[in-house]
Structure 1
Amino acid sequence: MKFGFQSLEGRIATLFLVLIIVLQVLGLVVIQKGIENNARASIATELTNGEKVFRKLMEQNAQQRRFSAQVLARDTGFVQAVGSDGSGDRETIHSALENSARRAGADLTMLIDGERKVKVSTGVRQAPALEQLVFGLLDQAEDGDGASAVALVDNKPFQIVVMPVKAPITIAWVVMGFAIDRQLAIDMKELSALEVAIFARDTAGTWLPVESTVPPGAVGAMAASLQNRSASHTLDVDIDGNMYSARVVDIGRAGDRGASVMLARSIEEAMGEYARLEHRLMLLTIIGIVVAALASVLTAKRIAQPLRQLADIARRLERGDYRAQSGFERDDEIGALAKAFDSMRDGIAKREQEISRLAYWDPLTNLPNRAQFVLLLNEALADAKKHEQPVFVLMMDLDRFKHVNDVMGHNFGDALLRQVAGRLQLRLAEAHAGAHVARLGGDEFAVLLPGSSLAAACSIAASIQQALEQPLSLDDQTVDIGAGLGIAGYPLHGIDAEALMSMAEVAMYNAKQRNDGAVVYDPAIDKSSETSLSLLTELRNAIERNEFRLHVQPKMKLDTGAVVGVESLVRWAHPVRGNVFPDEFIPFAEQTGFIRVLTHWVLEQSAALCHEMAAKGINLKVSVNLSTRDLLDQDLPNKFMDILQRHQVAPESFCLEITESAIMDDPVRAQQTLERLHAMGVDLSIDDFGTGYSSLAYLKRLPVDELKIDKSFVLNMENDIGDTKIVRSTIDLGHNMGLRVVAEGIESEAVWQLLAALGCDEGQGYFMSRPIPGDKLIDWIRNWKPPVRSALPYASADHTVS
């Protein structure tokens, strides 16, 4: 195999090489950065030390010059001349000053008399700034036996020394000025190896070069850098194409004027030694890369060659040839991999048959699984198309199997599935010789009936249901179990395996919903499923788009007609269908579990309405219906309390209505939820009382406060003695149990009066008001006029209901 980037060898070698190059380059970058930082640090140190050396040099010069001035100030003849006021003495003083200046190398001299006036001066004209500086040094010179400073004279810096003349008190001061010239710059360069430039700043703020050790053409660049510098004393300067790091030392200032010295160090010279080191490192890096490249290629070949041989063995294993041996005798990881290949070859050979069985057979029941059933169905369809024969598929799902699992455990459930499989096999062996039964998963089974008619398929389905209806005995436990069956066939319903199984499944779920034996697939069932799916999506969107509306139906006391409460109802303002009534979506919401979301919405809106009414002085008890799924929600009390707290509504303002059938679906969990709600202070009501299946013994234990008589008994009670008897008995029962009794469905004044005569506490119905929008309730209450209580001929209802 050729060495290339696409090969493993090429990739390994390339990877190693790239890593080495990256590491070397990173190392060089880090080293170069370190070199630059070290050079910069070294230059900064040199400049700092240079500044110290320069100031020391200035101090030494000042000390020497103070000594020269001191020699003159202590000369006896000079002191006598200064003490005299004659003109001859002035000439003596002038001569002495000139002689001392010549010996000391001073460029200017002055004698300041005791009245602090310039008596004699030589060498330079008087300047106000100079005199001001000198006068400021007099006291310092007298106290410290001399003083020095830097002054600007004609835009040139001078080092000024002042020495008092005492006889024995101070009678005058000798002043000498020394120009800071090129010699100082040269001395500084010899001491520190730094380039030196002296500048003076005029009153316009322009820096003027005085002396420097750099070529004249470079001084202008240095002056420009001074002109543009910030507050920092360190800056970079380009001098004749070479970068210098410079430090500015201020040596004198008088108002806007001043003098500074720039000390500069060549960056290139400072980094020269480092650059040579960097070149050596680059050479070593190149040599290292070459050596590493050779080593990586050799290593890659050593790794990849055995792997190619193992890949060839793997391809032979793929073809089912398990005779190939690796033949490696190595103690490294490659040898271990070769041994693992040999072990894998043996394991694959032993497990292939088992894997094939597990892939197509259910290990629990030893029946074909879904994959095998699809293969069998495809074969049957192919044969049926060839011979123009029908094929039918039966799909079944066991009833209550999850409950069995939850109560009896999964081991019991597995044993039950095995018994079901045995019964199916036995019944099909008797009914259809060519039938196949399979377990598709969970508690779903499927039956393949090749060459069968629809009538025969229905007959076999009925036989299977009959077999499953017989109780199953396991571990001294008898279990009743049934199944929902769906039937679909070729060519009646579909032409391929996937379509037939999907149709049979749709029919099966329809059979479980109808609880009416086996169901043959009908396209209308699928359409209904699509409609249901669309309805669920629309319900979810309705919550998000705020399409639901809260309506309420008032509840009155039948003896006085006073409005004491309302029942909250929901309406759906659909953007396309218009107003959708609850009967059209509530059952579906309960079936899909969306009812919990809807109940939460109604509770939220009802609490908001209750708070609004209370703020306007109207205190009503709001009734809200709870479904079976709501009662099974153990977190419902916490959710409801959160709603009440957010809207600042007392629990006593609510009455939650539940139906008898909802309670009986899971009495234990329902009672736990009701007890927690009742403990909060919420009233509970049994809705549609008389239509459920609960026992009075069980209802006696429920923490309820109200019974609502179903409207089916109220609507026609003025004309039906039987309904009247039922209503009267229910009222007496409720009162005997200490409950409030409410009648719903009052649609006439006669029924109102009859219920009042029978002692019914409250009522609601179309006679008083149809459900109205919640925001219209206040206006309705203000306009409500209850009927006058009349003495009916059957007010006592004795002869009517006896």
Structure 2
Amino acid sequence: MNLRALRRSLILRLVGISLLLLLIVQAAGFVVVQTFIVRNARAQIERSLDVDERVWRWLLDQNAVRLKEASTLLASDYGFRSAVNSGDADTIQSVLENHGARIGAAMTALLDPRMQLQAASPSRTAAEYQSAVDQAVPALVAQPQGSQIAVVNGIPYQFVMVPLRAPLLIGWVLMGFPVNETLVSEMQQLLSVDVAIQIRDAAGAVSVPVSSLPPRAFADLRDFRMGGEREIGGETLLVRAVRLDSGATSARALLLRSLDDVVEPYRQLQILLGVITVVGLVLFALGSAFMARRVTMPLRSLVDATHRLSQGDYGAPIEHTTRHDEIGNLARSFDRMRLDIAGQQDQIRRLADIDRLTGVPNRERFRSALMDAIGPGGGGRPVAVIALDLDRFKHVNGVLGYALGDRLLQAVAERLGMQARSSQDMIARLGGNQFAMMLPGGDATSAREMAQRIIRAFEMPVAFGDQTVDLSAGMGIACWPGTAQDADTLLSHAEIAMYAAKQRLSGALVYEPSMDSSSAGSLSLLTELRRAVDRNELRLFLQPKVTLTGQPGNAAEALVRWQHPERGMVPPLQFIPFAEQTGFVRQLTLWMFEQAVVFLAQPQVRAMSLQISINLSTRDLLDPELSNRFGALLERHGVSASAFCLEITESAIMDEPLRAEAMLNRLSEQGFKLSIDDFGTGYSSLAYLKRLPVDELKIDKSFVIGMAADDGDEQIVRSTIDLAHNLGLSVVAEGVETVAILERLRALHCDDAQGYYISRPLPMDDFLAWHAAAAEGK
């Protein structure tokens, strides 16, 4: 573990904080104990110094009594008094010296009644005796029973004075005893207290003539001016200064007791407390670390578990869930979260792969399976893809509601699943109303067979209560190996073929490169189409319509042909679907309408009262300027809108019903005749027929061609004719290939017919010739 991680360690923090708190408590306790010990020691020393001071004064008093007795004994000595009376100086001096030596007096003197020095022992000089007399005598005269301290030559002396009578007062005996090491030692031995005598003369000089302390401490004692605490020789001493009456010279006895000596017995206690503190800290640290580890190890385990969860591993259970403490509660919460997340992830994966509405795989799952099928794992087996787009689904949502639309998608998915050959076939919803089917091992033939099975499965309407919905769809087929090299392109080709099938109403178509408006060839085709309009390469053809009375009709359907300078005549199926995909169909429609208007504006054509039908696509109906463009061309050439019949497929209306219906109403108000093209191919809606301004129904050629061989087709044609007439609409049948079909339509009271039996689409000049010939032969 690196330093940064160590700093962030929860164990270190817990142990550190615990130790810090314990250390603070112990330190506070140690400080309190130390303070108490020192304060108690100071109080103890102060009490001892009180005793010391009393004992010191008592010793001085006892010493004074002893001196007083010795002095009295000398004063009562008959021989001494006789010597004094006789004035024998030698005898007096000898007695003073001998008696002083006998009792230990350092200074012995005889004063006359006037307190003048008369005689003295020879141990000191006359000046010293005079100094003693000057200092001690005045105080002793005032208090003859007491003693007086006088400093002589820097040495303190305790003086006493007694009268000398014979029987009258003949003088005074003055005796001085030095306050020396003997007294100090006696004091130290008696009370274990250090004593020092401090002398300060009149000039302020300080000396310590007597002390129980080592000589090195004298300097500190000389600087000491008052009682209190003093650091002397590295030792803390408490000092009590006792003033000695000494006249002009200040003399003090310093009583000193060591604070360290008093505290010393407590040092062991402090050391023991320190050892206990250290041991306690160590034990506490170990215990805290152990407890913290018991807490942090499960937490570390939970951290590892969160890392596994973040990496998507939800299988490993969380540890410590059996504990009955907070860690156990946390672990159980983590484990519940793991299970919840695992469930959510499973649901997300299902949602990522499965369409929630229908329960079949979605586009991404289908794409992934398709990649696997055509990838190395597929073994090189061929794959066919069918893309399917339901017809009129927007209409179902708009009329029946989105809920019923959802149920319709579920029913479609169910029916598609029933058509699967095996479990290897995959049904998927690509989005909206689009589905797809993958056929592993399938080719174009098997895909067409599957498409026919789907068409037959869709023949049965879907019933939702009292609502019945017819099913139909456009399907596109793409196969691998082929033009597509990857899954995305293969699926795109299937969708392109699907859109082409819907536009051509072909049911199912296999992908061809010409369908792909995104290919390089298609891009060049779009450029060529634009150039064809500019260079007048397009041609307007007219396919005649006749009444079923056999008379030549005055109507025709306009069709476009492309006379390419290099390719020759290009079939409509090679560029019309492409134009619808790219939106260029609007330019083609406008070009056809303008050519037809110009044709009708010719004088010979005006006399024919010809009506031309023009097809409109979905993109045309969604162009909001369509009616304005048509009106401008009609006005420019002076042609009436009634000269045109605009044919629209029901699929064009159903894609955007509201916008398409609005445009059709505007066109009808302009005077255009409207016709429903390819009626009966599964897009029929009676509700729209009732609501739209339609004038004509055009029966799809697939029913007309099948009349000769299929009674069912004839029934559809008959029903359509009857329905149209009941609605007040005229009927046109396209795809008349034989005279038998023509006669049958006449028997069914069909109004008009067109087809190759009557005439192929003709150039405009040929149409005029055909019309003239037909008029001559009537």
TM-score by length of 2: 0.38
